[in-house]
Each structure stands twice: as structure tokens, then as C-alpha cells.
Amino acid sequence: MPERASIRFYDVKQCGLYRPRARHSTLGSFNEVLHNIYNWATEPGRLILNTCSYEVNDEFDQEFLETYLVSAQMHNETGDYLFCFWNRTHATGDSVYALDAGAQLTNVSEQTFHQGHLPESSIPGFATYFWFIPSKSVMATITFGNPRSGMNAFSYWLENFFRTESRFATFNGQDKFIGYSAPDGSIYDDLEPRFIKSLYRNPSKKQLILSNCQHIRGIVRRINLERGQVADKGLLDSLKNRAGMLTNTEIHEHDISLKYEFTYTPTEREVQEMFSQYETSVVRTNWEDVGFLFPDNNGFGAQKVEWLSKSFAKIKIVVDIEWVLIGQLAKGDILLQTLKAHRSELLNLLDDNVSSLEQRQTA
């Protein structure tokens, strides 16, 4: 089934177990960690309810809830991996789907989903997809319709996996964590899990915006509002009032997409700050973006709206996939095969060929 996918690439700078302030890992590498997760996930009888690497309690201070691994795939030819996760939400209602927590990773099917009156053991949520290319030290998030990539939840899941489930984690007879073990049997108690990545940059696009910032005539901002966030709810209520709606008017979508525009010419320093905030934001989704408005026929090659996201390796393409349940969870093995078919073209994004691939996909 053809589906439009948004793919965003990240440069993986560090992944493994490090001594404080060390630049190189003492134990583990990007590829070793991925293979560890793959082997762990494909152990016979692995249940979804046992694949969240951290606990959520009253002191939990993240903006997400539990994150469960539901599929782990490896491509023998390329060495790439594809992991699918299921991210729990607070969402309720007849339109909400939930996954049976007691299902095995190797047995996830349409029958493991529930809708409407959800069993207590089920997990309401949404799927997220991560493609890893260790040979390039690169990874990518993949989204279908839902703008939430789940990157922050995955990063937290991965760092906790080191401590709780990785082959390096060592425990005493009372199941108390005592450190990380090396192949020679040595135990390290001074190592810290580290997963550091950044959006893969397209330097030429960023330079185009910066070099011509004096010609910017306005800013366009796209954000997502979550009703579960206090600040977002306040803004949403204010917008409802301005539209003549009651604040208790129900809007069915969990996330509300908002786009606004204003006339302004930022300084180069302000543009640099916008780049920095965009790249380091902990709540950014694929929808969220900053656009810079330039005059038509400007003479220096800028589009009428230059989106900040285009300064990074990101693309929307049509791919053939199969669904476990339409719109809820894609089959990981089929998705990885599809990515293999597009692999050469997609990796060209890392060589600043964003526009040429976009033109081919939209022609």
C-alpha cells in the first residue's frame, strides 16, 4: 500500500558507555548496541509489557509516558536496523486504539489491538519508527501522518536500556545493579550511558538563509499544542475565545496543529538563535517548523518561504508498506525492505541533494 512517509536524518555522534568527559566509549559502539537490542528483542517469548526500559511514577518528569519496543528488524545485506515502538498516551475515547501488553513481539497482529472499551492491560498510544544505518553512523525517524516522531522517548528508552537490559549491565545476587562488565570480566562502576545525536545538516540551505537575512520580510511558525500540557491548554483556550468558541468545546485531536505568521526582519544573530532552538528543542515534531518569508524573484535563489527544517536532511516520499493495522502500526520487516529499495536515493540527502530528490518525488 503506497503511503507518504516523512524521513528525518540524524548524525549519531556518540553511542555507548563512556567515562565522564571521555570522547570515546569504553564499552559498546553504535552497531554493538543496536545488535544487542535486536538479539534481546528477538528472544523467544519476549512480551511487549516487558520491553519498556524505565518506570513511570509520580516523580517522572518527562513529557512522555511508557515506550515499548514492538518490532526489531535487521537487514543482513546492509547491516541496517529498523525498530518500531509503541508510545503510551493519555488519550481515551472510541477512536483510540490500544495494543495488548501481553502479546509477544513475534506475534503482534491486528487481533492484538483493541478499540473503544479498552481492557485494563492494553496500552493506548501510537507507533514510532527508527531506521539505523550504523555503517554511516546515521539514523532516521519515519512518520506516517502522525507528526510525533518519538525521538525524545526513544533516546530516554535507549539510555535506560544500557542500565537495565543491555549485555553490559551486571547485577549482584539481589538483582542490584553493580556496574558494566567488559568481555574480559572486568567490572566498571564509573561509566555512563551516552546517546548523542544531532539533525543531519544541509549547510548550503542554512547559509542561504543567513547570508540573506536582511531580505527576510516575515516569519511563519508552525507548532503543535498538546491538551495535556498546562501552557498549551491555556493558549488553546485563548485561541478558542478569539474564534468565538467556549473554552470547554471539545476538539477531538490529541494534538492541535497551529500555524501563524507575522511581519519581521530578524538580525543574523536572531536567525542563528532560531536555528539553535529548533535543533535542540525537546518537544519538536515533524510538523513544527520555522519559515522565513523572502521577496518573490529575489535574485539570490531563495524560495518565497524557506523552511528551517530544510536546512537539515529531511524528505517526504511515497513508499510501499504493509500494515499490521491500517494507520496504527506498519510491518517492520516490510518497511525495512522498502527502505532498502530507496536506500541509495535517501542517503544522497546526506550529500546535500535534498531538492533533487524532492523534485523527483513530487513530479
pLDDT band at 61 (very low <50, low <70, confident <90, very high): confident
Secondary structure element (H or E) that encloses residue 198, with its range:
strand 192-199
| Mean pLDDT within 274-290 | 74
Provide the pLDDT for residue 199.
85
* pTM listed for this prediction: 0.75
User: What are the C-alpha distances in Å from 31 to residues 12, 74, 135, 164, 180?
Assistant: 11, 11, 8, 19, 18
Name the residue among 340, 338, 315, 263 with its Cα closest to residue 294: 263
Enter the DSSP assignment of 200: P
Retrieve residue 324's grid coordinates.
499490521
Poorest-confidence range of 20-24, 60-64, 233-237, 352-356? 352-356
Site of grid cell 498549551:
232
CA dist., res. 82 & res. 105, Å (int)? 14
pLDDT band at 238 (very low <50, low <70, confident <90, very high): confident
| Mean pLDDT within 160-169 | 95
Q: Are 11 and 198 in contact (CB under 8 A)?
A: yes
Provide the pLDDT for residue 320.
93
| Mean pLDDT within 228-248 | 75
Q: Quick check: 102 pLDDT over 60?
A: yes
Poorest-confidence range of 52-56, 84-88, 344-348, 353-357? 353-357
Give the three-state DSSP class for 168.
coil
- Provide the CB-side half-sphere exposure for 86 (13 A, CA): 30
Secondary structure element (H or E) that encloses residue 36, with its range:
helix 30-41
Provide the pLDDT for residue 343.
94
| Mean pLDDT within 243-251 | 74
Provide the pLDDT for residue 297.
87
User: What are the C-alpha distances in Å from 78 to residues 28, 331, 340?
Assistant: 20, 19, 8
- Phi/psi for 292 (5° steps) reads -110, 125
List, in order, residues 6 or more apart from 142 with CB less than 8 Å away.
5, 6, 7, 129, 130, 131, 335, 339
Q: What is the pLDDT of residues 79-96, one digit of tens each?
A: 999 999 999 998 777 778
Site of grid cell 532498502:
340
